[in-house]
Structure 1
Amino acid sequence: MPEGHTIHRAARDHRKIIKNRYLAVSSPQGWFEDGAAWLNGRLCEEVEAYGKHLIYRFEGETFLHVHLGLFGRIRKRKLPEPEPRGAVRIRMIGDTHLIDINGPTVCEILDPDDLTKLTSRIGPDILRSDADPEKVFARISKSRSSIGKLLMNQAVLAGIGNIYRSEILWRQGIHPDRPGKDLSRDDFERLWADAVHLLEIGVKRNAIITVDEAAPGRGRYRERVNIFGKRSCPTCAGGITQVEIDTRKAYFCSTCQTD
């Protein structure tokens, strides 16, 4: 599943090419024909990210909500219009580019009330200017759940995914099993600041980079990480422990990350 920086990067890129443009909207796959017909020919007024959710605001207080889930994919292409690749749920064509979205978990039309209900379920988004860390700390400081679980709970805070979870906790020396209620205010402020810093790098470089001063890698996803999927800790050279937290792999160093 894409992490928060990927969705914010998409919103930023899409804003440049379709905002304030009338769009030709279709569903080549055919699974979103009614929604596409409703949006076709309308003005796209804004594109925003809320955690892992993309919201395209159209004239007439109409919103397109997209959540990629595990298998969704976005392709941005220059015109002239190429043939669709794979099962394209929705295609949006502006005057210079088109956007194809394949296989999203959610692709739906919302009205203003629907949008309010959606965003009210999403915790403060680390990458949004309106994010309120006080709300996040209030939830975490009262919870007996582990900080490893809380960081991935999109109702508590939005945007942190599986890789960032392990990397941020390692960078801050926090064990993933520590209960949220035992996290000090200072620990939380350092964690929040580091999360903002790393996800902003992710948006800028279009890659997860948690190694200080590192350039993107050369692999498929261009990641540069410290402990995720690694065998040894770059600080103490000790072994890295792999665990499962809510069915997702997580990594930590028992020497550098104290309870």
Structure 2
Amino acid sequence: MPEGDSLHRIAARLQPLVGHVVSASSPNPRGRVTGVAAAIDGRRLESVEAVGKHLILRFDGRVLLRSHLRMTGRWTIGPAAQTRRGSPWLVLRVGAVEAAQWNGPVLTLEARVVRTLGSDLLADATEPVALVARLRRGSSGRLLGEALQDQRLVAGIGNMWMSETLWQAGLSPWLSVESVDDGELVAALTWARDSMRAAVVDARPQRAVYRRTGRPCSRCGEAIRARGQGDENRTAYWCPGCQRGPSPVAR
């Protein structure tokens, strides 16, 4: 699933369309039934921003479009296609520049869910210290790995960045939030914020644990483990040798 850095990278690439009247179409029938293209065609794109894992496009007339990519969606931006293979859900065109949204799955003019999100980790105004207070209030009794992926608490972190962040911090995703002190949480969130911001303009860092199940940890040599966590069974990856805390039996 694309995480916060991916959405910020897409938002940056869409900036050339901002300030222009957009021609919009929906070649894919599934995109057409959303009514999005008809609602925004011929409107001026006023802004594009990433909020956590959501992309928000604001058009004149107070029309707002929300895109959430989940596991299957993607955006492509480049020269307007003369012949396009496949059918994107949405195509936005300004002159010779075209942005296409493929495979949905969330493309809507309703953005109520964005108001329930926590602070975007990559936003300039977001401070890790303030996020720790929010985590404390909203994650009583929860596991650390699960709480960091709750978009209502911290917007932008998915299971890849959660796993990598906690390996860097030396903390097991199976620790309770209460068992981790404020300093450890601030350090972990600061590393995540700085690393995700860097990944917006450059490649992501080499993975230490994510999708490396069974391979030796580069820090201590112990085999990396993986197991589903939380109600949504998102896979947590960790090293039982050098990440403090419990380590359930791996699947």
Report the TM-score, using the length of structure 1 for normalisation.
0.86
Is contact 2:31-2:88 (8 Å) kept? no
Q: How does 1:170-185 map to 2 (within 5 A)?
A: 170-185=167-182
> What is the aligned partner in structure 2 of residue 65 from structure 1?
66
Q: Is the 8 A contact 2:129 2:186 kept in 1?
A: no
Q: What secondary structure sits across from 2:66 in the alignment?
A: strand
Match of 1:127 in 2: 122
Does the Cα contact within 8 Å between 2:31 and 2:104 map onto a contact in 1? no
Q: Report the equivalent of 2:132.
A: 137
Separation of aligned partners in 1, 2:41 and 2:115 = 28
The answer for unaligned runs of 5 or more in structure 2 is: 246-251
In the TM superposition, residue 61 of structure 1 has moved relative to its aligned partner by 0.9
Tell which deviates more after alignment, 154-163 or 127-136: 127-136
Which residue type is aligned with residue 242 of structure 1?
A: A
Counterpart CA distance in 1 for 2:178 and 2:109 is: 39
Q: Which secondary structure state, in structure 2, belongs to the residue aligned with residue 170 of structure 1?
A: helix
Cα deviation, residue 35, structure 1: 2.3
Partner of 2:225: 241
User: Secondary structure at the residue paired with 2:98?
Assistant: strand
CA–CA separation in structure 1 for the residues paired with 2:182 and 2:204? 26
8 A contact 1:140–1:181 mirrored in 2: no
Percentage of identical aligned residues: 29
Task: Report the aligned-residue RMSD.
Answer: 1.6
Whether 2:223 is the aligned partner of 1:187: answer no
- The Cα shift of 1:226 comes to 1.2
| Partners of 2:76 and 2:190 in 1: CA distance | 31
Show the counterpart of 2:93: 93
1:30-179 to structure 2, matched below 5 A, reads 30-33=29-32, 34-79=35-80, 81-110=81-110, 115=111, 117-142=112-137, 143-179=140-176
Q: Which of 204, 209, 214 in structure 2 is aligned with 1:208?
A: 204
Q: Aligned equivalents of 2:21 and 2:77: distance in 1?
A: 17
1:229–1:31 CA distance, 2 compared to 1 (3 A): closer
* Alignment TM-score, normalising by the size of structure 2: 0.89
Inter-partner Cα distance in structure 2 for 1:126 and 1:139: 12
Using the TM superposition, give the Cα deviation of residue 90 of structure 1 relative to its aligned residue in structure 2, in angstroms. Answer: 0.6
**Helix, strand or coil at the partner of 1:190:** helix
Unmatched runs of 5 consecutive residues or more in structure 1? 210-223
Offset of 1:180 from its aligned partner? 0.9
Shift of 1:134: 4.6
User: How many residues are treated as equivalent by the alignment?
Assistant: 237
CA distance in structure 2 between the aligned counterparts of 1:63 and 1:120, rounded to whole angstroms: 13
Please give the per-residue CA displacement for 1:52-111, whole angstroms capped at 9, x wherever unaligned: 1011110111111111111112111213x333332311100012310110111211114x
Alignment correspondent of 1:219 = none
SS in 2 for 1:88: coil
Give the conservation status (yes or no) of the 8 Å contact 2:208–2:218. Answer: yes
SS in structure 1 opposite 2:222? coil
Confirm whether residue 21 of structure 1 aligns to residue 16 of structure 2.
no
**Using a 3 Å threshold, how does the CA distance of structure 1 residues 31 and 228 change in structure 2: closer, same or farther?**
closer
2: CA distance, partners of 1:244 / 1:43: 44
Give yes or no for contact 1:141–1:182 (8 Å, CA) kept in 2.
no
* Structure 1 pair 32–235 and aligned structure 2 pair: CA distance change class (3 A): closer
Equivalent in the alignment of 1:215 = none
